[in-house]
Amino acid sequence: MCPRFARFRPVLTAALASGLVALEPAAGEASLRRLSFMPNQLAANAWYRPGEPPALINGHLDESFGHAERWPRLRANLRRLHGSFSLCAAEVGWLSTAEDLLPLLRSERIPLSVELPGFTQCLGGGELAEAELNGAPLRSGANLFATIFRLDHPTDRPDPAGHGWFVTRDGQPFVPDEILFDERIPNLLPTFDPEVLARTKGTWEQRKAAALRPNGHPLAAGPSAALLADLVEDYVRYLTVARAKFGAQMPVVSLHWNVNPGWEWRDQAALDAIQAADPAYFDVPANFWAIVQRHPQYNSVRYLDQLLDRLAAAGFRPRTVFMDVDWTYDVPYITEVLRRHQADLAARGVQMGVNVVEASLGVQDELIGEGQTLRRQTVPEDPPNLLYERTLMAIARYLQVTGLAGPELQWRVGSWSHRPCEVGRQVSEDTPGSLAHTANAIADTL
Residue type, 292: V
Longest Cα pair distance anywhere in the chain, in angstroms?
68
What is the distance between the alpha carbons of residues 343 and 229, in angstroms, rounded to a whole number? 23
Instruction: Write down the pLDDT at residue 372.
Output: 82
pLDDT tens for each residue of 149-167: 777 766 667 889 999 999 9
Which secondary structure element, helix H or strand E, spans residue 112, and what is its range? strand 112-116
Q: How confident is the model at residue 27 (pLDDT cuts 50, 70, 90)?
A: very low
**What 3-state DSSP class applies to 166?**
coil
Task: Write down how long the chain is.
Answer: 446
What is the distance between the alpha carbons of residues 183 and 121, in angstroms, rounded to a whole number? 10
Instruction: Write down the pLDDT at residue 21.
Output: 30
DSSP-derived secondary structure letter, 30? G
Instruction: Write down the pLDDT at residue 10.
Output: 36
Q: How many CB atoms lie within 10 A of CB 313?
A: 9
CA 400 to chain centre: 21
pLDDT tens for each residue of 194-233: 999 999 999 999 999 999 998 888 998 889 999 999 999 9
Rounded average pLDDT over 24-53: 63
DSSP-derived secondary structure letter, 173? B
Instruction: Write down the pLDDT at residue 358.
Output: 83
Cα R_g (the chain), whole angstroms:
22
Strands 320-325 and 351-356: parallel
- Quote the percentage of the chain above a pLDDT of 90: 74
Instruction: Write down the pLDDT at residue 148.
Output: 80
Which residues on neighbouring strands pair with residue 179, listed in sequence order?
114, 253
Q: Any residues with CB less than 8 A from the CB of 115 and at least 6 apart, and which?
A: 38, 86, 87, 88, 89, 180, 182
Instruction: Write down the pLDDT at residue 52.
Output: 64
pLDDT tens for each residue of 66-117: 999 999 999 999 999 999 999 999 889 989 999 999 999 999 999 999 999 8
Strands 35-38 and 84-88: parallel
Strands 410-414 and 35-38: parallel
Report the candidate in 389, 391, 377, 261 with the shortest Cα–Cα distance to residue 326. Answer: 261
Report the candidate in 136, 283, 260, 123 with the shortest Cα–Cα distance to residue 197. Answer: 283
Report the candidate in 336, 306, 313, 314 with the shortest Cα–Cα distance to residue 323. Answer: 336
Which secondary structure element, helix H or strand E, spans residue 142, and what is its range? none
Contact between residue 94 and residue 156 where contact means Cβ atoms under 8 Å apart: yes
Q: How many CB atoms lie within 10 A of CB 302?
A: 14
**What 3-state DSSP class applies to 108?**
coil
Look at the pTM and tell me if it is higher than 0.85.
Answer: yes
Report the candidate in 185, 437, 440, 160 with the shortest Cα–Cα distance to residue 299. Answer: 185
Phi-psi region of 141 (alpha: psi -120 to 50; beta: other; left: phi over 0): left
DSSP-derived secondary structure letter, 157? S
pLDDT tens for each residue of 335-371: 999 999 999 999 999 999 999 998 779 999 999 998 8
* Annotated domain spans of the chain: 3-443
pLDDT tens for each residue of 53-65: 666 678 789 989 9
- Lowest mean pLDDT across 19-28, 261-270, 358-367: 19-28
Phi-psi region of 50 (alpha: psi -120 to 50; beta: other; left: phi over 0): beta
What is the distance between the alpha carbons of residues 139 and 123, in angstroms, rounded to a whole number? 10
Q: Any residues with CB less than 8 A from the CB of 314 and at least 6 apart, and which?
A: 236, 239, 240
Which residues on neighbouring strands pair with residue 253, listed in sequence order?
179
Which residues on neighbouring strands pair with residue 85, listed in sequence order?
37, 112
